[in-house]
């Protein structure tokens, strides 16, 4: 008995020590469930990675050392938690409270949350969006610059106050420019009050996404103007069905801010610290996975473990046991991991979806407490003909036959709740929205757009200053439509309490990239997904979905799509799941395909609807759902007003170059008048200068003449005198005898 007790204490002691070495995923605090409200400060600031107290550090076997010490047993080990390590490469980032990701906010459903955003960036403005939260009755705290609020200028602080609802896995991130993928993000978990006390699986938070060494602004600008490595133009890679990734090469990726860069040329791997997830054998864990990346869809798996997906975007689904699932930027998946394998360490993998690219796996470590503190040497579960792998949420309908992978679409998932989608009635509304890159391939101008409209931020708060939006941001005053591209503040106005059915498509000549489309302010019902035809042998697409007609478009932009079969109008679409559809806020729209979503317009406000691939959104792939504008939302007292100083349009290059703009002629006349005036003023000045030169010359000539005359007079006087003298002399000589 005594021996047993001693062994128990030793085991407990070892457990404590090992859990100190690798704390579970995140060492986070949660708002007590007894509190009705909680308050947080998020400070956004530039930082450097791989720096410890102003000293550069380097990585060796998952640990960090000072730059000026060669590695030996006596080298100074630097505390990993005090360094923003990312993939082991030094660069500037933007961090929240000094870390990437920022601190997780973990609260209970229904609590009132106050979050102060302090912008300590050197010059950039910022905002924070709470991704997935509905912001019911507080649309002005959604964190959208120029849609729901003014950007928070450098040095300013902005306070959000909203109800934590619904429950689920969410996140916060900047919505200004490319700050999100420069590091301004963190988890936001809303826990279920009623699950408290019940034996629920332990939470793990896992934020996963691709990472880049350049500032994200540069990543985007290179996508637009050309991306070169040395003198070689970087060619986009592809998914297996032939879909593209933006012209941005894979660099590395992070799980909870940690990863390892592998040099493409040398194959050298930077052995930076990784994220460790400690589990106790025999227990279950709820991994809350958040897609925080910039571009790449990632296939998540755990070696030796089947995983059970139980929730997506905050809503519970009937559990699906899968080998892996695919997460896109903006999506969230919760899975249950049963720690039922032998003691040891196992790789958690996030593989990017490119084909013919090596070294594109992000790694983390699943560590069974009590096993050795060593990196895993495990292999992923093989997919075989006898045991094919089940993969959830492929961006296409099927893998090639030989890969032994069965794709399951999100539309095949079933909700476990009994809330039904809203009915399609006589006054229901249906819209087709095409998320694509239409444009003239000759000029290489193919902006990100929705129905050919490249989104523009209006420079004032669209929610409260709608009447102050200048007409040249208004899509109605622009030349938008079939086979056209225009730039404007695209708003879809929908009245209160109507059923809204949206068909989000990715079709026409501008398709070719699968888009994860995210809607703010709502969790929509996913009723159906339509995939394009694929060659089952190669996996390559053989066309686009036949369900949708792009109309009599010559250039094939598909800006005015409709159902090919007119009987599908009014909600009569075959294959809709109206019984138990899942609810999401971000869904992948496959290349050449579509998704049908439905919601009830009961949340007045302006909600951004956009692609969550950051470079696509920056390029204009977004729009505003202007919900129930007839019910005016009142701003809280003292809410900031944005001022767009716009009284001299001659300075606005966009305005001058907009050929089709109503007021271009007026502007051109104004410019002609200005240039005529310039010529006249120049001419008058020229005449004055010439006159002055003439006067100066005339004076000079006159002066010269006067001087010459004077000289001449003097000389003639002298001559006269000398003549007189001579004459007098002669007289004297003549008188001398
Ligand atoms: Cu996109």
Quote the tokens at residue 447: 């902006």
Residue 82 DSSP one-character state: G
Ligand 1 centre to CA of 513 (Å) is 7
Query: Residue 613 and residue 297: Cα distance in Å, rounded?
Result: 10
**Which among 62, 23, 40, 66 is positioned nearest to 202, based on CA atoms?**
23
Query: Percent of the chain, pLDDT > 90?
Result: 72
pLDDT at 298 over 80: yes
φ/ψ region of 579 (left if φ > 0, alpha if ψ in -120 to 50, else beta) reads alpha
What's the confidence (pLDDT) of residue 8? Answer: 46
Q: What is the pTM of this model?
A: 0.84
Lowest mean pLDDT among 153-162, 277-286, 287-296, 671-680: 671-680
Distance 544 CA to ligand 1 centre (A): 17
Average pLDDT over residues 2-16: 49
Check pLDDT > 90 for residue 261: yes
CA of 304 to the centre of ligand 1 (A): 33
Query: According to the model, what pLDDT value does residue 655 have?
Result: 52
Residue 216's pLDDT band (cuts 50, 70, 90) = very high
pLDDT in tens, 624-655: 999 999 998 999 999 999 987 765 555 455 55
Residue 583 near residue 523 (C-beta atoms within 8 A): yes
Question: Does the structure show a pLDDT above 60 at 728?
Answer: no
Using the mean position of ligand 1's atoms as its centre, give its distance from the Cα of residue 453 in Å.
14
How deeply is 440 buried, as exposed, middle or buried, from its count of CB atoms within 10 A (0-12, 13-18, 19+)?
exposed
Q: What are phi and psi of 594, to 5 degrees?
A: -155, 165
> How confident is the model over 300-306, as a mean pLDDT?
97
Q: Is 86 exposed, middle or buried (0-12, 13-18, 19+ CB in 10 A)?
A: buried
Give pLDDT tens digits for 444-500. Answer: 678 999 999 999 999 999 999 998 888 888 999 899 999 999 999 999 999 999 999
Q: How far is the CA of 172 from the centre of ligand 1 (A)?
A: 20
Q: What is the pLDDT of residue 679?
A: 78
The answer to whether residues 461 and 149 touch, using CB atoms and an 8 Å cutoff, is: yes
Q: What are phi and psi of 193, to 5 degrees?
A: -60, -40
Q: Which phi and psi angles does 703 have, rounded to 5°?
A: -60, -45
* Cα 620 to averaged position of ligand 1 atoms, centre (Å): 10
For residue 38, pLDDT over 70 is answered with yes
- Do residues 523 and 490 make contact, with C-beta atoms less than 8 angstroms apart? no
The residue-averaged pLDDT of 392-396 equals 95
Q: How close is the Cα of 47 to the center of ligand 1, in Å?
A: 29
| C-alpha 215 – ligand 1 centre gap (Å) | 19
Taking alpha carbons only, the member of 291, 276, 310 closest to residue 200 is: 310
Read off φ and ψ for residue 707, nearest 5 degrees: -65, -45
Express each pLDDT in 269-297 by its tens digit: 999 999 999 999 999 999 999 999 999 99
Mean pLDDT confidence for 163-169:
96
Q: How many CB atoms lie within 10 A of CB 9?
A: 10
CA distance 425 to 436: 30
Percent of the chain with pLDDT over 70: 87
What's the pLDDT at 5?
Answer: 52
Of the candidates 454, 419, 418, the one whose C-alpha atom is nearest the C-alpha of residue 437 is: 454
- Is 90 exceeded by the pLDDT of residue 531? yes
Q: How confident is the model at residue 714 (pLDDT cuts 50, 70, 90)?
A: low
Task: Tell me if the bond preceding 396 is cis, omega within 30° of 0.
Answer: no
Q: What is the pLDDT of residue 503?
A: 98
Instruction: Please list, residue by residue across 87-123, b when 16 or more beta carbons sit within 10 angstroms of its beta carbon and e when fewer do.
Output: bbbebebbbbeebbbbbbbbbbbebebebebbbebee
Q: Three-state SS string across 224-262, please?
A: HHCCEECCEECCCCECCCCCECCCCCCCEEEECCECCCE
Ligand 1 midpoint to CA 395 (Å) = 12
Nearest alpha carbon to residue 568 among 515, 523, 530: 530
The pLDDT of residue 716 is above 90: no
The pLDDT assigned to 706 comes to: 65
Tokens of 520: 């703010």
Q: Give the residue, 545 or 235, on which the prediction is more confident.
A: 545
The alpha carbon of 611 and the centre of ligand 1 are apart by a number of angstroms equal to 4
**Measured in angstroms, how far is the CA atom of residue 548 from the centroid of ligand 1?**
20
CA of 613 to the centre of ligand 1 (A): 5
Average pLDDT over residues 519-529: 98
**612 within 8 A of 328, measured Cβ to Cβ:** yes
- What is the C-alpha separation between 54 and 501, in angstroms, rounded? 54
Alpha carbon of 455 to ligand 1 centroid (Å)? 13
What radius of gyration do the chain's Cα atoms show?
36
CA of 433 relative to ligand 1 center, distance in Å: 13
Provide the pairing of β-strand 453-455 with 486-488.
Answer: parallel
Instruction: Report DSSP letters for 256-303, one per residue.
Output: TTB---B-TTT--B------EEEE-TT-EEEEEEEE--SS--EEEEET
Q: How far is the CA of 290 from the centre of ligand 1 (A)?
A: 18
Averaged pLDDT score across all residues of the chain: 88
Higher pLDDT, residue 698 or 187: 187
């Amino acid at each position: 008995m005594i021996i047993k007790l001693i062994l128990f204490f030793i085991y407990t002691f070892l457990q404590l020590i090992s859990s100190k070495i690798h704390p579970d995923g995140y060492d986070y605090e949660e708002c007590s469930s007894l509190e009705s409200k909680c308050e947080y400060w998020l400070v956004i600031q530039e930082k450097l990675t791989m720096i410890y107290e102003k000293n550069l550090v380097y990585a060796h076997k998952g640990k960090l050392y000072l730059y000026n010490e060669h590695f030996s047993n006596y080298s100074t080990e630097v505390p990993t938690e005090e360094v923003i390590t990312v993939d082991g490469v030094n660069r500037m980032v933007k961090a929240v409270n000094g870390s990437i990701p920022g601190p997780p906010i973990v609260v209970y459903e229904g609590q009132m949350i106050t979050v102060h955003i302090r912008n300590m960036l050197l010059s950039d403005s910022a905002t924070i969006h709470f991704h997935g939260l509905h912001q019911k009755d507080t649309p002005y705290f959604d964190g959208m610059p120029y849609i729901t609020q003014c950007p928070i200028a450098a040095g300013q602080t902005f306070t959000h106050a909203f109800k934590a609802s619904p429950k689920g896995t969410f996140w916060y991130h900047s919505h200004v420019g490319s700050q999100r993928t420069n590091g301004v993000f963190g988890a936001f978990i809303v826990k279920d009050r009623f699950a408290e006390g019940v034996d629920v699986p332990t939470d793990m938070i896992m934020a996963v996404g691709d990472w880049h060494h350049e500032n994200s602004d540069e990543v985007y600008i290179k996508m637009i103007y050309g991306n070169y490595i040395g003198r070689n133009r970087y060619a986009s890679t592809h998914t297996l069905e032939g879909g593209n990734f933006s012209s941005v090469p894979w660099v590395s990726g992070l799980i909870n801010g940690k990863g390892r860069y592998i040099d493409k040329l040398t194959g050298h791997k930077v052995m930076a610290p990784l994220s460790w997830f400690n589990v106790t054998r025999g227990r279950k864990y709820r991994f809350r996975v958040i897609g925080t990346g910039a571009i790449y869809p990632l296939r998540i798996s755990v070696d030796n473990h089947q995983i059970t997906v139980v929730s997506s975007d905050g809503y519970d689904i009937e559990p699906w046991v899968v080998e892996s699932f695919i997460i896109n930027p903006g999506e969230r998946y919760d899975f249950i991991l049963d720690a039922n394998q032998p003691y040891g360490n196992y790789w958690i993998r996030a593989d990017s979806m490119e084909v013919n690219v090596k070294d594109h796996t992000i790694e983390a470590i699943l560590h069974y407490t009590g096993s050795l503190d060593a990196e895993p040497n495990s292999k992923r579960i093989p997919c075989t003909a006898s045991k094919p792998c089940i993969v959830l949420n492929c961006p296409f309908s099927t893998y090639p036959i030989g890969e032994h992978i069965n794709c399951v679409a999100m539309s095949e998932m079933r909700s476990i709740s009994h809330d039904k989608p809203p009915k399609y009635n006589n006054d229901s509304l249906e819209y087709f929205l095409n998320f694509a890159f239409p444009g003239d391939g000759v000029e290489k101008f193919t902006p990100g757009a929705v129905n050919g409209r490249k989104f523009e931020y209006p420079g004032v708060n669209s929610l409260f200053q709608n009447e102050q939006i200048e007409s040249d941001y208004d899509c109605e005053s622009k030349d938008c439509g079939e086979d056209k591209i225009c730039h404007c503040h695209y708003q879809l106005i929908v009245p209160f309490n109507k059923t809204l059915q949206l068909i989000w498509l990715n079709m026409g000549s501008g398709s070719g990239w699968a888009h994860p489309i995210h809607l703010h302010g709502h969790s929509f019902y996913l009723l159906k997904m339509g995939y394009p035809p694929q060659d089952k042998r190669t996996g390559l697409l053989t066309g686009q979905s036949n369900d949708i007609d792009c109309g009599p478009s010559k250039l094939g932009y598909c800006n005015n799509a409709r159902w090919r079969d007119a009987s599908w109008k009014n909600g009569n679409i075959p294959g809709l799941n109206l019984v138990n559809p899942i609810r999401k806020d971000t869904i992948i729209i496959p290349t050449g395909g579509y998704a049908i979503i439905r919601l009830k317009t009961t949340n007045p406000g302006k909600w951004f609807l956009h692609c969550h691939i950051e470079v696509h959104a920056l390029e204009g792939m977004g729009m505003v759902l202007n919900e129930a504008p007839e019910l005016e939302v009142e701003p809280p007292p003292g809410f900031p007003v944005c001022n767009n100083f716009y009284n001299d349009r001659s300075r606005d290059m966009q305005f001058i170059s907009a050929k089709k703009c109503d007021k271009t002629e007026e502007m051109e006349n104004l410019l002609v008048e200005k240039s005529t005036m310039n010529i006249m003023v120049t001419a008058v000045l020229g005449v004055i200068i010439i006159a002055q030169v003439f006067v100066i010359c005339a004076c000079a000539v006159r002066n010269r003449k006067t001087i010459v005359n004077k000289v001449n007079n003097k000389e003639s006087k002298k001559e006269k005198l000398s003549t007189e003298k001579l004459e007098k002399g002669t007289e004297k000589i003549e008188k001398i005898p």
